[in-house]
Amino acid sequence: MNKSALPRLVAVVLAAGQSRRFGTTKQLASLGQAPLVRRAVDNARGAPVDAVVLATGHDHAAVHAAGNSDFFLVNENYRDGMGSTLAQAARTLAPVTDGLLVCLADQPLIPAEHLAALREAWDGSPDRAIATAFGSSVGPPVLFGSRYFADLGNLRGEAGAKALLDAAGDQLVTIRLEAAAIDIDRPEDLENL
């Protein structure tokens, strides 16, 4: 199969939040030698995707500069919550992709290999969703086929795409990665790593 016949996949790194519990813009906090947002963008680039888009909002200029992504969008309504950022990304990117790989900037232990495994598990079907399983939960990173774009585009507030995953039924495939349970909400979360 030639590359032009492969389904298009765009990774979107959500990094728009205000980081209220962290106290400063957590996307800019460093783990090792890189800010969290840069780690997320670099790992997304390591997966076989056609493009990586950084979705920003709060402190967008600094987050974009630290993320070093080729493409970015700014959610002016970032105060409305993650759902509004994911909705804007889905509406913006729907015309140019067959699938969205949704990553969070505050999940620093997600390796590029896991994102590649999500991509490998996707057969290009518009109906398929590939999510990460951790503990008794299922969530991001998650890959959505195009059938989900309209529902993603209608998300509001803090609600993410959990309801879409719950409704996916046998179209949902999961790949386990316990490290996905670790996200950064407070400075001590980062210190504990």
Cross-strand pairs, 15: 56
Structure tokens given for 94: 């729907």
121-176 residue pLDDT tens: 999 999 999 999 999 999 999 999 999 999 999 998 777 788 899 999 999 999 99
In angstroms, rounded to a whole number, what is the distance separating the alpha carbons of residues 123 and 116? 13
8-52 residue pLDDT tens: 999 999 999 888 787 788 898 888 889 999 999 999 998 889 999
**Contact assessment for residue 64 and residue 71, using Cβ atoms and an 8 Å cutoff:** no
Q: What is the dihedral of CA 175, 45, 39, 81, to 10 degrees?
A: -70
In angstroms, rounded to a whole number, what is the distance separating the alpha carbons of residues 133 and 140? 8
